[in-house]
A and B are shown apart, each in its own frame.
Chain A
Amino acid sequence: MSHPITPVRTYVTIWVILTVMTITTYLVAQIDLGPFNTVVALMIAFFKMSLVVMFFMEVRRERPLTKVFVFAGFFFLLILLGLTMGDYVSRGWQALGSMW
Chain B
Amino acid sequence: MEQQLDSATLGMWVFLLTEIMFFGGMFGAYTVYRNLYPDAFASTSKHMNAFYGGLNTLVLIVSSLTMAMAVRSARVGAQKALQIFLILTIFFGLCFLGVKGFEYHEHWVEQTVPFWNWDAHYFGEPQFAQQAQILFCFYFFMTGFHALHMVVGVGLMLVIYFMARANKFNPGYYTPVEISGLYWHFVDIVWIFLFPLLYLIGLSKHV
Number of interface residues of B (CB under 8 A): 49
Q: Evaluate contact between A8 and B9: CB separation under 8 angstroms.
A: no
Which residues of chain A (15-33) have a CB below 8 Å from chain B?
15, 18-19, 22-23, 25-26, 29-33
- Complex: A53 Cα to B42 Cα, angstroms: 30
- Least CB distance, A35 to chain B, in whole angstroms: 9
Q: Evaluate contact between A76 and B185: CB separation under 8 angstroms.
A: no
Q: Counting CB contacts under 8 A, is B50 at the interface?
A: yes
Q: Counting CB contacts under 8 A, is B152 at the interface?
A: no
Q: Evaluate contact between A53 and B189: CB separation under 8 angstroms.
A: yes
Q: Counting CB contacts under 8 A, is B106 at the interface?
A: no
Residue of A nearest to B36 (CB): A88
Number of interface residues of A (CB under 8 A): 50
The contact of A76 among B17, B67, B189, B192, by CB within 8 Å, is: B17
Residue of B nearest to A40 (CB): B196
- Least CB distance, A44 to chain B, in whole angstroms: 7
Q: Evaluate contact between A52 and B192: CB separation under 8 angstroms.
A: yes
- Complex: A90 Cα to B17 Cα, angstroms: 28
Also in contact, A1 and B6, with CB within 8 A (given A19-B61, A66-B13, A69-B14): yes
Q: Evaluate contact between A52 and B21: CB separation under 8 angstroms.
A: no
When distances are taken between beta carbons in the complex, the residues of chain A under 8 Å from B206 are: 32
Mask of B166-194 contacts with A, CB within 8 angstroms, 1/0? 00000000000000011001101100110
- Complex: A49 Cα to B62 Cα, angstroms: 14
Which residues of chain B (5-56) have a CB below 8 Å from chain A?
5-6, 9-10, 13-14, 16-17, 20-21, 24-25, 27-28, 31-32, 35, 50, 54
Q: Evaluate contact between B21 and A70: CB separation under 8 angstroms.
A: no
When distances are taken between beta carbons in the complex, the residues of chain A under 8 Å from B97 are: none
In this complex, the member of A29, A57, A65 whose beta carbon has the largest number of chain B beta carbons within 10 angstroms is A57
Also in contact, A77 and B24, with CB within 8 A (given A25-B200, A85-B32): yes
**A-B contacts, 30 listed (Cβ < 8 Å):** A8-B69, A8-B72, A11-B72, A12-B65, A15-B65, A18-B64, A22-B54, A22-B58, A26-B50, A26-B54, A29-B201, A30-B203, A31-B204, A41-B200, A49-B192, A52-B64, A52-B189, A57-B182, A63-B6, A66-B9, A66-B13, A69-B10, A69-B13, A69-B17, A72-B17, A73-B13, A77-B20, A77-B21, A80-B25, A88-B32
Chain B residues with a Cβ under 8 A of chain A: 2, 5-6, 9-10, 13-14, 16-17, 20-21, 24-25, 27-28, 31-32, 35, 50, 54, 57-58, 61-62, 64-65, 67-69, 72, 75-76, 181-182, 185-186, 188-189, 192-193, 195-197, 200-201, 203-206
